[in-house]
Homo-oligomer: A and B are copies of this chain.
Amino acid sequence: MGEIAAKARKSIGARRNPESADAILEAAEAVLSEAGYSGFSIEAVARRARAGKPTIYRWWPSKAALLIEVYQRQKRVETPDTGNIEADLAGFLMNLFAHWRDTSSGNVFRSLVAEAQSDAAAAAALADYAKGRRAHTGRMVERAKARGEVAADVDAELVADLVASFAWTHLLTNRLDGEEATIRAAIRYLTCGILKPTERKGVLDPRGTS
């Protein structure tokens, strides 16, 4: 695990040493969760992992690449399947908030978003990752459509986008400690809308303006 510094490792020959790779990823995670994004430097990771800087650069061409792999090593938040779209989406958000709050994942992801603002590679990787997650999250909506709970012409990924955006923004502005009621209300707006029932003329006609 390497609390302060990993043990010294030697080369295991003309191939990648998985011990080193692990030590580096673990060190990266540790540095990030202890010193935050501002203290996250390749030097610091190398020191912590007892690795040479070139070893890091050999396998991860940039800070972004390292961040991405660290983030992807961590387990994903699963999407619930309760048979009710509102409960599913709210449960997903609450799981996600808790995951970010209680593990180093939140820090890692924040850092990745920050890095993406100055590093094109990180931006591309983040876009890719986000797209995949939207698809994954969207499946909750697809399931609801399949069982007739959600209107057929709803864009599942767009819904996932709205849900994820809410989570991202709360992460990036240190508002992960929101109450459950707030999350439930936000999801309720998304599922049921905010219009007064009497005002509801035509539902889900994205072209019209009513």
Contacts and interface: CB of A to CB of B under 8 A. Distances in A.
A158 interface: yes
Interface string A135-160: 00000010000001111101100110
Interface residues of A, number: 66
B173 A130 contact: yes
Interface in A103-157: 110-111, 113-119, 123, 126-127, 130, 141, 148-152, 154-155
A205 to B, nearest CB: 8
A189 B158 contact: yes
Contacts of A118: 36-38, 114
A13 to B, nearest CB: 11
B196 A193 contact: no
Nearest to A87: B209
Interface of A: 36-38, 84-87, 110-111, 113-119, 123, 126-127, 130, 141, 148-152, 154-155, 158-159, 161-162, 164-166, 168-170, 172-175, 181-182, 184-186, 188-197, 199-200, 203-207, 209-210
